[in-house]
Chain A
Amino acid sequence: MTTSDVLILCAAGMLVSAYLMVGQKALFATIRLYGLQSLLLGIVAAVIAVSEARYELFVTAVVTVVLKAMLIPWFLMRVIDRIGIHREIEPFLNVPASLLVCLGLTVVGYRVSTGFPESSRGVSHHLVGVALSMLLTGLFLMVTRKKAITQILALLTVENAVFLVAVGVTSGMPLVVELGIAFDVILAVLVLGILVHRIVDRFESMDVSRLSKLKG
């Protein structure tokens, strides 16, 4: 297997995991899928670091794996354990319909990616295609799910997608920016975790659509 094969395989794996997240209602399984997705992103970064001799990307890979594949899933699972809500009961759109929409979004994402000059053909075409598809899927997931945890995971999926483009196609970000993003992600997850606790305290449910009752 060549380097580009590994990259394409990992990117395709990320797309599959994003797609499975849409089809999944159990929150634990969704979190595990997110962990897997982040692990694959870490592998992408590590492979690029080796193949293009950009060793600073190793830091990115390690930060990604430790933070997004281990720490955040562990934290989110703990949150779920504390509040004892394990399932996405009623999304705004049922599963087969959301899968269909995501199918269309993926096709759109892939089609748009052929327009980038960078990605005429080859690996970067697939990386941009996968990233755009994941971005759209994540946004869709954020809009159609009611549980706060799923929305956090959707946000993180979008973040993974952006990261995939940043690592795979561009010539990379300065380390300071990357670390800044990593801390942003930690903070976002912590704050959202606390927010989830507050929502559950107030409404005894994670359903964010109930927040509209707060006004007036």
Chain B
Amino acid sequence: MTPAIADALPPIGLAVLQAAGMLAVAPLLKAAIKKMKARLQNRQGPPLLQGYYDLAKLLRKEPVRSETASWVSVAGPRVYFAAAVAATTLVPVLIAAAPLEAAGGILLLVGTLALGRFALATAALDTGSPFGGMGASRDMTIAALAEPALMLGLFTSALAAGSLNLGGLVRNVLQRGGTIHPSDLLAFAGLFIIVIAETGRIPVDNPATHLELTMIHEAMILEYAGPDLALVEWASALKELLYLTLLVDFFLPAGIATSAAPGAIAVALLAWAGKIFLLAIAVTIAESTNAKLRLFRVPELVSISLGLAFLALAIRFL
């Protein structure tokens, strides 16, 4: 971490602030995408604060759990939530340094997210409901393909910046200035498909349906109610914001604050919000103009992104 930032705030304080801020904004992103999608279909759509209302409602309710469920299904949403929150502290959001970047970089980030996914999938299997098992198996199938592509895409940028540490990576990209390499665009295209796949958006999964033939993420969390469901929903929204922030960090870091001066942070906040909004529009358009793929064709889509990410890495060397 650069000295100026480290002096201003201890890493733990910064980590808490950043995680709290991201948690506060995450439901808004989900609602904004829903709203834009509705407007594209000439519908009014839910209000922008609907995400918060839903969370408040779910958190007030009493948890209902299956009689056959063990502690695994109690722990699942909590680990999933904790992993998502922990992952946010590894990513630079407003200033060019991740709060806990001393803890680890890209590998830890991917590992933390995988831990959360593992916890949720085991919890889905735990209740013994057929939907849970089906959702878990589908989610894992996609994850097994998406994760290598995610790693390859992230490594391409890391290779260019010469650092596996996310904070160091962003700082290097800022210092190196604006030379663009073709592999940047290839990696971006590959990672964008991965973000769509990982956040359960339409060509891969439909977040708005409970139709048993098609659902993936929703099938996994079908058994949850009340605060457990709230945790899962909140963590999913947080993960989506996290992925978009990653794209912003890697490919459009301009505007991010390099010191802890209030003015720089205010500019960075505006820049970050604007860039996330642009990406949200891109996600909305991708979701509105595509039909959901058959489950057996999802690997094709993910293999495209794997190919793009690999190509990006290969071209970097040529």
In the bound complex, residues from chain A placing their C-beta under 8 Å from that of B303 are 23, 95-96, 99
Is B304 in contact with A99, judged by CB distance below 8 angstroms? yes
Q: Point out the residue from B185, B300, B318 that lies within 8 Å of A129, measured CB to CB.
A: B318
Is B185 in contact with A96, judged by CB distance below 8 angstroms? no
Is A110 in contact with B179, judged by CB distance below 8 angstroms? no
- Give the nearest-CB partner of A2 in chain B: B178
For the complex, give the distance between the alpha carbons of A15 and B183 in Å: 10
Query: In the complex, what's the smallest C-beta–C-beta distance from B250 to chain A, in angstroms?
Result: 15
Q: Point out the residue from A12, A96, A102 that lies within 8 Å of B186, measured CB to CB.
A: A12
Is A96 in contact with B300, judged by CB distance below 8 angstroms? yes
Is B182 in contact with A23, judged by CB distance below 8 angstroms? no
> A5-B179, A99-B303 are known contacts. Are A12 and B184 too (CB-CB below 8 A)?
yes
Is A110 in contact with B315, judged by CB distance below 8 angstroms? yes
For the complex, give the distance between the alpha carbons of A4 and B178 in Å: 10
Does A106 reach chain B (CB closer than 8 Å)? yes
Is A5 in contact with B178, judged by CB distance below 8 angstroms? yes
In the bound complex, residues from chain B placing their C-beta under 8 Å from that of A100 are 307
For the complex, give the distance between the alpha carbons of A11 and B185 in Å: 10
Interface residues of B in 177-218 (CB under 8 A from A): 178-186, 189
Does B299 reach chain A (CB closer than 8 Å)? yes
Interface residues of B in 297-318 (CB under 8 A from A): 299-301, 303-304, 307-308, 310-311, 314-315, 318
For the complex, give the distance between the alpha carbons of A73 and B12 in Å: 56
For the complex, give the distance between the alpha carbons of A12 and B187 in Å: 10
Interface residues of A in 83-136 (CB under 8 A from B): 95-96, 99-100, 102-103, 106-107, 110-111, 113-114, 126, 129-130
For the complex, give the distance between the alpha carbons of A20 and B193 in Å: 12
In the bound complex, residues from chain A placing their C-beta under 8 Å from that of B318 are 107, 110-111, 113-114, 129
Is B178 in contact with A103, judged by CB distance below 8 angstroms? no
For the complex, give the distance between the alpha carbons of A130 and B189 in Å: 16
Is A12 in contact with B182, judged by CB distance below 8 angstroms? yes
For the complex, give the distance between the alpha carbons of A103 and B152 in Å: 14
- Give the nearest-CB partner of B181 in chain A: A8
In the bound complex, residues from chain B placing their C-beta under 8 Å from that of A129 are 182, 315, 318
For the complex, give the distance between the alpha carbons of A2 and B180 in Å: 9
Is A23 in contact with B310, judged by CB distance below 8 angstroms? no
For the complex, give the distance between the alpha carbons of A16 and B184 in Å: 11
Is A103 in contact with B184, judged by CB distance below 8 angstroms? no
For the complex, give the distance between the alpha carbons of A114 and B180 in Å: 18
Is B311 in contact with A106, judged by CB distance below 8 angstroms? yes
In the bound complex, residues from chain B placing their C-beta under 8 Å from that of A5 are 178-180
Is A15 in contact with B307, judged by CB distance below 8 angstroms? no
Interface residues of A in 1-17 (CB under 8 A from B): 1-2, 4-5, 8-9, 11-13, 15-16
In the bound complex, residues from chain B placing their C-beta under 8 Å from that of A1 are 178, 180
- Seen from chain A, the residues whose Cβ lies within 8 Å of a Cβ on chain B are 1-2, 4-5, 8-9, 11-13, 15-16, 19-20, 23, 95-96, 99-100, 102-103, 106-107, 110-111, 113-114, 126, 129-130
A-B contact pairs, 28 of them (CB 8 A): A1-B178, A1-B180, A8-B180, A12-B185, A15-B186, A16-B185, A16-B186, A16-B189, A19-B307, A23-B301, A23-B307, A96-B299, A99-B303, A99-B307, A100-B307, A102-B307, A103-B307, A106-B315, A107-B311, A107-B315, A107-B318, A110-B318, A111-B318, A113-B318, A114-B318, A126-B182, A129-B315, A129-B318
Query: Which 8 pairs across A and B sit closest by C-beta, in order of nearness?
Result: A12-B182, A12-B185, A23-B304, A5-B180, A110-B318, A99-B307, A96-B303, A95-B300
